[in-house]
Amino acid sequence: MVFRFYLGEDVLRKLYVALLVTLLFAILLNVVSIYGEFVLRFYAEVVKYPTLAYPEPVLAGGVLEVRLALSDDSSPSDFSLTMFNEFGSYELSFKSVSYSSKWKSWVAEFKVPEEASEGLYSMKISFTAAGEHYDIEMPNCIWVLREWPNKIRLIFTADTKTPAGTPYWREMVYVANILNATMMIFSGDEVERPSQASAWKYFLTYWLQLNKPSYAGIGNHEYDSPGIAKTWERIMGYRNFTLTIGNFLFLFLDSGMDGWVPLEQIKWAENELKNNPDKVKILTMHHPIFGYKIRDEKIVLIEINSIDEDFEKLFNENYFYESWKNHKEELKELFKAILENGVHLVLTGHTHNDINNVVTYGGQKYFFITATGVPYDVRIGDWRGFRLIDIYANGTVDEKTLTYLGKPFNNYPNSIPIDVGEGIMPYEIGLLEYYYTPANDGSSYTVSLKIKNKLDESYDLVIAFRVPNDISFENYKVIPENITYAVANTNQGYYYVLLENITIKPRSELKFTITAEDDKEEPEILSASISKPSEIKFATLTIKVSEWWIGEVEATDKGWGVASVKVMYNTGNGWKEPELYDLDLDKTGNGIVAYRFWINEKELTGEAQFKIVVTDFSGKSVEKTYMFTPEKGLFLPEMVPTSPTETPTTPTETPPTTTETTPTATMTPTEAVTETTTPTTTYIPYKPRGVNYTLLYAGLLIAIIIAGILIGLAKKRT
């Protein structure tokens, strides 16, 4: 028997409308879910300079420039401007305002108070224009210095492409915030797609947590379409710009969606370079000048005697990056501008791997550095990372800081790693590992810090504690006692305690505690488990695994905090430790410390005994014994007591008493901080939604198309 169904045109129309409404409703729900936690603001809609993408460096007592993208007949007036950070705020006096045809903006000038402390500030600006009142807040956009630096220690990275790159981007910010660096540059591909609100959500969430002046350039992924980058311009601001910091000139170019720079922009760059002949010049853009052939052939040195002749040879032999292939004239003009104007450092990204070479011309060295950055997609074996480069006001670039460990340019990979490398097992993100416990937000009378350096070189660190200021600071003690530090009293209800001259050596750890309390509490093991998963998740990232048992331990301590977690296992051949411990940032916080540990499956084939020992910062420890079978995992044996035991305090490594820092911090209990400072860092774990909205929308769209076809067929039948 065959059943036949016929839907009339009216029914099909109703079905079509219902499906269309469902699609719109689903899109609305998705937008709400994104904006429910994070409101995407178009920061640079009106204020084009300074912005969160390029803070303005200004000396205390100097003049701050603010550019407003308003029509030339809007006549802004009634200005007020306040700059603020966690240490206080300053009212800036208004000086003047005029329309600039160069910037196509109104340029307002304000005087920074002489007494303003060094640091990174946000601003609130109010004014009236064309009968409308504006109140605009711009985060992290003013960088006040007491004097121009003689040296810049620069963090350079690129290419996170959130949301997929979120775990690497979070780690990059986490590491940058403890490094004693002057500033940071991110050279493009901040987001996967500029129209994707969740991409901006996760990029900006961590960008705004950076505690040092940070500058963002545009990449090809920020383009809406060829030549169009409206979303970037509304959120971040300019696509190309210059930055002057005393004797340093940074030139940010826009290499577009297709990887080349138009002649008009190159001419603009040449004029900027010629107008600053005595500056130390650094150029950054997203796409590189030199390509993969440099890396593949392990070329380090390129000698240029004649720009015209040698350029032709390099171009014809395909040593330049492929995106310039159809833009020979533009590339030659840019290459010539770099060599003839003394641009001794060129920093780029885009390739997702390291490419380095040196060009010599006229007896001078020109460094072309392309960093892997922090993308989710890299070559097998390559690690994600960054560069930490020392540049001096006399023009010297410290060559050994251009690569990790001062490795040769052609010994790849050579960025400073933030993970162990693509496809490497056991896998770990986070090689400069640290945590404050229970919290470093000014709410706890005890704060402890543990830092573990799993890398092979030493780093100067910025370590700051925040503890309540409703008691005299004399009631606090800093451990170890031989540490030098400076204290500032903030208006946020806490003391800001900056440890001075802290350097962590290779493959070592440091521990610090500041407290007004005796530690009477004992640590506690909250949970312990082990499994053999087929995959493991790091926020947005899913890693396929096999041949590994992966365990998790969570511990807490209500006193001075958890200082260490140690796992041991015995299969009958003596006690061993896991191959890897990995701090779990998603679960560490509010007094809880969480670790993953990895054990090769060959080590655990039958029954085993486990011991987990947790030690706190005052030296007290607790131990638990577990049994293991492949079927049950970890479980507590019956009648095995768990009792705390006193263990001697592990000596804490004493840092050197002197080390170079940039800039110098000088503080007293009643003075504002003179170190670069920003609001408290709080890391927000990424929680991916369970629904795949792309598939949902695609399914609904297909249903709507089918319904439309059916309506057309119904019309024909009638």
Collapsing DSSP to helix, strand or coil, 387 comes out as strand
- As a three-state string, the secondary structure of 228-266 is ECHHHHHHCCCCCEEEEECCEEEEECCCCCCCCCCHHHH
What is the spatial distance between Cα 190 and Cα 241, in angstroms, rounded to a whole number?
Answer: 17
Q: How confident is the model at residue 14 (pLDDT cuts 50, 70, 90)?
A: low
Kindly list the distances between the CA atom of residue 289 and the CA atoms of 230, 292, 314, 584, in Å, as whole numbers in the listed order: 26, 10, 11, 38
607 in any annotated domain: yes
Q: How confident is the model at residue 635 (pLDDT cuts 50, 70, 90)?
A: very high
This prediction's pTM: 0.85
What is the spatial distance between Cα 483 and Cα 114, in angstroms, rounded to a whole number?
Answer: 31
- Residue 208, pLDDT > 90, answer yes
CB count in 10 Å sphere of residue 353: 20
What residues are paired with 447 via a beta bridge?
514
What is the spatial distance between Cα 546 and Cα 396, in angstroms, rounded to a whole number?
Answer: 48
- Say what the pLDDT of residue 541 is: 77
108 in any annotated domain: no
Q: How confident is the model at residue 665 (pLDDT cuts 50, 70, 90)?
A: very low
- Say what the pLDDT of residue 237 is: 98
Q: Are 328 and 305 in contact (CB under 8 A)?
A: no
678 in any annotated domain: no
Q: Which amino acid is at 422?
A: E
Those residues with Cβ within 8 angstroms of residue 41's Cβ, 6 or more apart along the chain or in another chain: 235
Q: What tokens were used for 581?
A: 């411990």
Q: CATH number for the domain including 625?
A: 2.60.40
Output DSSP code: residue 66.
E
Residues spanned by the domain of 500 = 432-515
- Residues 572, 510 share a domain: no
Those residues with Cβ within 8 angstroms of residue 507's Cβ, 6 or more apart along the chain or in another chain: 453, 454, 455, 456
Q: If 0-12 CB within 10 Å is exposed, 13-18 middle and 19+ buried, where does residue 575 land?
A: exposed
What is the phi/psi pair of residue 360, to 5°?
A: -105, 135
What is the spatial distance between Cα 567 and Cα 599, in angstroms, rounded to a whole number?
Answer: 11
What is the spatial distance between Cα 109 and Cα 66, in angstroms, rounded to a whole number?
Answer: 6
What is the spatial distance between Cα 434 and Cα 445, in angstroms, rounded to a whole number?
Answer: 20
Q: Are 537 and 473 in contact (CB under 8 A)?
A: no
Stronger pLDDT, 6 or 517, i.e. the higher one: 517
Collapsing DSSP to helix, strand or coil, 340 comes out as helix
Collapsing DSSP to helix, strand or coil, 327 comes out as coil
Kindly list the distances between the CA atom of residue 258 and the CA atoms of 222, 261, 327, 447, in Å, as whole numbers in the listed order: 12, 9, 11, 49
Q: Which amino acid is at 183?
A: M
- Say what the pLDDT of residue 711 is: 58
- Say what the pLDDT of residue 8 is: 56
- Residues 705, 632 share a domain: no
What is the tally of helices (H) and strands (E) in the chain? Answer: 9, 39
- Residues 324, 343 share a domain: yes
Q: What tokens were used for 563?
A: 């200082």
- Residue 494, pLDDT > 90, answer yes
- Residue 589, pLDDT > 50, answer yes
- Residues 379, 489 share a domain: no
Q: How confident is the model at residue 716 (pLDDT cuts 50, 70, 90)?
A: low
Residue 451: closest CA among 513, 401, 501: 513
Q: What tokens were used for 368?
A: 């072309």
Q: Which amino acid is at 415?
A: S
Residue 516: closest CA among 491, 486, 490, 495: 495
662 in any annotated domain: no
Residue 624: closest CA among 638, 635, 613, 639: 613
The domain boundary residue, chosen from 583, 613, 646: 646
- Residues 502, 480 share a domain: yes
What is the residue-averaged pLDDT of the chain?
Answer: 89
- Residues 388, 286 share a domain: yes
- Residues 498, 371 share a domain: no
What is the spatial distance between Cα 581 and Cα 575, in angstroms, rounded to a whole number?
Answer: 16
544 in any annotated domain: yes
Those residues with Cβ within 8 angstroms of residue 452's Cβ, 6 or more apart along the chain or in another chain: 432, 433, 434, 508, 509
323 in any annotated domain: yes
Those residues with Cβ within 8 angstroms of residue 138's Cβ, 6 or more apart along the chain or in another chain: 43, 47, 50, 51, 52, 122, 123, 125
- Residue 34, pLDDT > 50, answer no
- Say what the pLDDT of residue 715 is: 55
The domain boundary residue, chosen from 515, 540, 568: 515
- Residues 615, 695 share a domain: no
89 in any annotated domain: no
Residue 502: closest CA among 434, 441, 562, 447: 434
Those residues with Cβ within 8 angstroms of residue 118's Cβ, 6 or more apart along the chain or in another chain: 60, 144, 145, 146, 663, 673, 674, 675, 676, 677
CB count in 10 Å sphere of residue 80: 14
Q: Are 301 and 337 in contact (CB under 8 A)?
A: no
Q: What tokens were used for 117?
A: 């402390």
- Say what the pLDDT of residue 261 is: 98
pLDDT, mean of residues 89-95: 98
111 in any annotated domain: no
Residues present in the chain in total = 718
- Residue 645, pLDDT > 70, answer no
pLDDT, mean of residues 562-585: 96
- Residues 264, 194 share a domain: yes
The domain boundary residue, chosen from 587, 612, 646: 646
What is the spatial distance between Cα 671 and Cα 660, in angstroms, rounded to a whole number?
Answer: 23
What is the phi/psi pair of residue 292, to 5°?
A: -60, -25
Output DSSP code: residue 198.
H
- Residues 571, 484 share a domain: no
- Residue 658, pLDDT > 60, answer no
Domains identified in the chain, total number: 4
Those residues with Cβ within 8 angstroms of residue 25's Cβ, 6 or more apart along the chain or in another chain: none
- Residue 461, pLDDT > 70, answer yes
Note the pLDDT tens digit of each residue in 169-184. 999 999 999 999 999 9
- Say what the pLDDT of residue 708 is: 63
Our CA angle for 666, 672, 677, nearest 5°, is 80
- Say what the pLDDT of residue 496 is: 98
Terminal CA-to-CA distance of the chain, rounded, Å?
26
What is the spatial distance between Cα 637 and Cα 640, in angstroms, rounded to a whole number?
Answer: 6
- Residues 449, 402 share a domain: no
- Residue 655, pLDDT > 80, answer no
What is the spatial distance between Cα 446 and Cα 109, in angstroms, rounded to a whole number?
Answer: 44
pLDDT, mean of residues 143-151: 98
Note the pLDDT tens digit of each residue in 345-377. 999 999 999 999 999 999 999 999 999 999 999
Residue at token pair 């076809």? 709
What is the spatial distance between Cα 682 and Cα 663, in angstroms, rounded to a whole number?
Answer: 24
Q: CATH number for the domain including 500?
A: 2.60.40.1180
Q: How confident is the model at residue 39 (pLDDT cuts 50, 70, 90)?
A: confident
Q: How confident is the model at residue 12 (pLDDT cuts 50, 70, 90)?
A: low
Note the pLDDT tens digit of each residue in 467-483. 999 999 999 999 999 99
Q: What share of the chain is helix, strand, coil (3-state, %, to 5)?
A: 20, 40, 45
- Residues 530, 498 share a domain: no
Kindly list the distances between the CA atom of residue 269 and the CA atoms of 274, 341, 397, 540, in Å, as whole numbers in the listed order: 9, 10, 21, 39
- Residue 279, pLDDT > 50, answer yes
- Say what the pLDDT of residue 2 is: 40
Residue 365: closest CA among 341, 404, 388, 339: 339
